[in-house]
């Protein structure tokens, strides 16, 4: 090399730069190979990938346009185009492109995996599961897809199927961290605690992180292992606060956090971080709904939104609500994002509302669009941060007024819930600082109960449930993860103070 001339770089060297993630250099050097008889198409594809990696998906799409010739589009080009569209938030377009790719190459594991990830982002867990099932049919040793399949199944409360998928992943690699953690979460959710503590410690040795510390704290708390709980929660608390300080969404789930500690300001920080993450996941899907005043509309349209319109405490508490509205003033919509268990309770809700809409199979944007198209005036979310909730739908603000009620975490955080429906006992004036929402105080108690429930006429005896005939019975039927050290200590003191007394704890998986 003389006179300061730049050294010519070969195509193999460009590929080597891509292999070590030098994407700026890759984008620059690919330019000279565009139009090359042998590497021209590859150069455009690799340059587009570089722009995607550098956070410039719009430029990547522009670069790919020259390769989008009808009848002669490569599968790789379609995958890159879908990836760029996904990065821009155009999930519907990305899905269409991948479906086009599958019409050409039905047995591509990579395309099925990419399509599955799109469905997860859209909140369409059932469709995601179908994609991952196809992957493991094509490639039974694909450990990541077994794990992804299990996650999609768990998100639909298909816990036995999820355990099977995670177990298959662990048969391939017993030290696969995510599959191991996810399996423990499901076992914990099913109250199957045998061996969890030992497996938690084993996985911590592989990688000490938020996920494994959370499942360790949850299982220890449910087994009243307070020493184990202190050990895991102390580590988790530091990790959670560090994530919040760095404006990352912690892995600690808000409902678990509310059970771990009764610190309301910590709860507010945690719920806000998760609510913000829900918004971040969908903010690019839609520019925002433009709400208008419904002039001349004779009735207020109220929408109730939950994943728990089934045999569940939320439905047990709210069951009479839907039929008690004054139909001259209100039109009642119910939006269900959870499973249809065929229960009489779900059927009662269907019968008592004016419109029952099943959104379980709908992606996030389609669900929000449906609520908007129904011209809902007030949307009330019963799920909040609980399991299988779809808070990201509410994050898109499909209704002009949105409220939360019966939230397991008190506040939902974020900025897209206007009110929390409550009363002055549950939410005194002094609690305003602990909530992101404005209180909508109801007279008396806000808490609804299914007061119509008929007491069974069956001849039920204590022996049917293994209870002593002459004992004084204390009972608690909460989920076991809600048992705190303080409550358990009080229960033990009561049992010591009351002769011949027993504590009946409901076995709620």
CATH of the domain at 437: 3.40.50.11380
- Contact yes or no for 131/116 (Cβ under 8 A): yes
Same domain (yes/no): 436, 305? yes
Q: Any idea of the CA torsion for 11, 17, 18, 22, to the nearest 10 degrees?
A: -140
Distances in whole angstroms, Cα of residue 447 to Cα of each of 395, 438, 443? 25, 18, 11
Same domain (yes/no): 308, 436? yes
Same domain (yes/no): 436, 307? yes
Which two tokens mark 271?
Answer: 């719920």
Report if residue 37 sits inside a domain.
yes
Report if residue 260 sits inside a domain.
no
- What CATH number is given to the structural domain containing 30? 1.25.40.10
Q: What is the CA radius of gyration of the chain?
A: 27
Same domain (yes/no): 382, 473? no
Report if residue 121 sits inside a domain.
no
Q: What is the pLDDT along the chain (509 residues), one digit of tens a residue?
A: 444 555 689 999 999 999 999 999 999 999 999 999 999 999 999 999 999 999 899 899 999 998 988 777 899 999 999 999 888 778 888 999 999 999 999 999 999 999 999 988 877 888 999 999 999 999 999 999 999 999 999 988 899 999 999 999 999 999 999 999 999 999 998 889 999 999 999 999 999 999 999 999 999 998 999 999 999 999 999 999 999 999 999 999 999 999 999 999 999 999 999 999 999 888 877 777 888 776 667 899 999 999 999 998 899 889 999 999 999 999 999 999 988 889 999 999 999 999 999 998 788 888 999 999 999 999 999 999 987 788 999 999 999 999 999 998 999 998 899 999 999 999 999 999 999 999 999 988 888 887 777 888 889 899 999 999 999 999 988 878 888 899 999 999 999 999 999 999 876 55
Structural domain of 474: 462-505
Same domain (yes/no): 307, 371? yes
Collapsing DSSP states into helix, strand and coil, what is residue 407?
A: coil
Report if residue 341 sits inside a domain.
yes
Distances in whole angstroms, Cα of residue 482 to Cα of each of 184, 470, 478, 485? 18, 29, 7, 10
| Residue 361 CA to its chain's centroid (Å) | 15
Same domain (yes/no): 13, 70? yes
Report if residue 211 sits inside a domain.
no
Report if residue 389 sits inside a domain.
yes
Longest CA span, the chain: 103
Report if residue 331 sits inside a domain.
yes
Place of tokens 């996920």: 211
Same domain (yes/no): 437, 326? yes
Same domain (yes/no): 319, 437? yes
Query: If we measure between CA atoms, which residue out of 361, 379, 355, 359 comes closest to residue 370?
Result: 359
Number of compact structural domains in the chain = 3
Report if residue 119 sits inside a domain.
no
Which two tokens mark 354?
Answer: 């004016």
Same domain (yes/no): 314, 429? yes
Identify the sign of the CA torsion 484, 490, 493, 498. Answer: negative
The contacts of residue 254 (CB under 8 Å, 6+ apart) are 267, 270, 271, 274, 384, 385, 409, 413
Same domain (yes/no): 400, 467? no
Using the 3D structure, point to which of 106, 131, 166 is the last residue of a domain.
106
Using the 3D structure, point to which of 73, 106, 139 is the last residue of a domain.
106
Same domain (yes/no): 378, 412? yes
Same domain (yes/no): 391, 437? yes
């Amino acid at each position: 090399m003389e006179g300061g001339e730049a050294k010519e770089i070969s195509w193999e060297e460009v590929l080597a730069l891509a292999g070590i993630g030098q994407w700026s250099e890759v984008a620059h050097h690919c330019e000279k190979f565009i139009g090359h008889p042998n590497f021209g198409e590859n150069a455009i594809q690799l340059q587009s990938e570089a722009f995607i990696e550098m956070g410039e998906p719009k430029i990547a799409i522009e670069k790919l346009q020259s390769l989008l010739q009808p009848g002669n589009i490569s599968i790789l080009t379609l995958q890159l185009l879908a990836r760029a569209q996904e990065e821009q938030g155009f999930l519907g377009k990305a899905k269409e492109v991948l479906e086009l790719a599958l019409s050409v190459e039905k047995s591509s594991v990579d395309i099925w995996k990419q399509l599955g990830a799109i469905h997860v982002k859209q909140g369409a867990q059932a469709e995601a599961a179908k994609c991952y099932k196809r992957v493991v049919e094509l490639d039974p040793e694909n450990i990541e897809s077994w794990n992804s399949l299990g996650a999609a199944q768990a998100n639909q409360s298909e816990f036995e199927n999820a355990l099977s998928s995670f177990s298959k992943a662990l048969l391939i690699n017993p030290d696969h961290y995510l599959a191991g953690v996810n399996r423990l979460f499901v076992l914990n959710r099913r109250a199957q605690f045998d061996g969890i503590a030992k497996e938690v410690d084993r996985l911590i040795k592989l990688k000490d992180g938020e996920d494994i510390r959370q499942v360790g704290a949850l299982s220890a708390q449910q087994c009243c292992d307070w020493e184990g709980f202190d050990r895991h929660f102390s580590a988790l608390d530091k990790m959670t606060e560090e994530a919040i300080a760095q404006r990352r969404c912690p892995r600690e789930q808000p409902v678990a956090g509310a059970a771990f500690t009764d610190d309301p300001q910590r709860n507010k920080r945690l719920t806000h971080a998760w609510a913000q993450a829900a918004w971040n996941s969908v903010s690019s899907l839609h520019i925002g709904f433009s709400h208008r005043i419904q002039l001349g509309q004779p009735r207020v349209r109220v929408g109730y939104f939950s994943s728990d319109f089934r045999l569940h405490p939320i439905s047990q508490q709210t069951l009479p609500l839907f039929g008690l509205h004054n139909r001259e003033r209100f039109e009642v919509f119910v939006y269900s994002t959870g499973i249809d268990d065929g229960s009489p309770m779900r059927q009662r809700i269907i019968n008592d509302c004016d419109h029952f809409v099943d959104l379980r199979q709908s992606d996030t944007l389609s669900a929000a669009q449906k609520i908007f198209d129904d011209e809902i005036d007030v949307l009330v979310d019963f799920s909040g941060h609980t399991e299988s909730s779809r808070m990201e739908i509410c994050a898109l603000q499909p209704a002009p007024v949105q409220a939360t009620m019966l939230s397991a975490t008190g506040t939902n955080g974020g900025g897209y819930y206007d009110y929390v429906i409550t009363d002055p006992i549950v939410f005194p004036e002094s609690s305003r600082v602990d909530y992101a929402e404005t209180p909508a105080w109801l007279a008396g108690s806000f808490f609804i109960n299914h007061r119509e429930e008929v007491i069974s006429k069956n001849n039920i005896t204590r022996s049917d449930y293994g209870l002593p005939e002459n004992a004084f019975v204390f009972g608690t039927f909460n989920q076991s993860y809600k048992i705190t050290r303080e409550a358990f200590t009080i229960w033990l003191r009561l049992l010591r103070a009351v002769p011949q007394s027993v504590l009946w704890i409901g076995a709620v998986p």
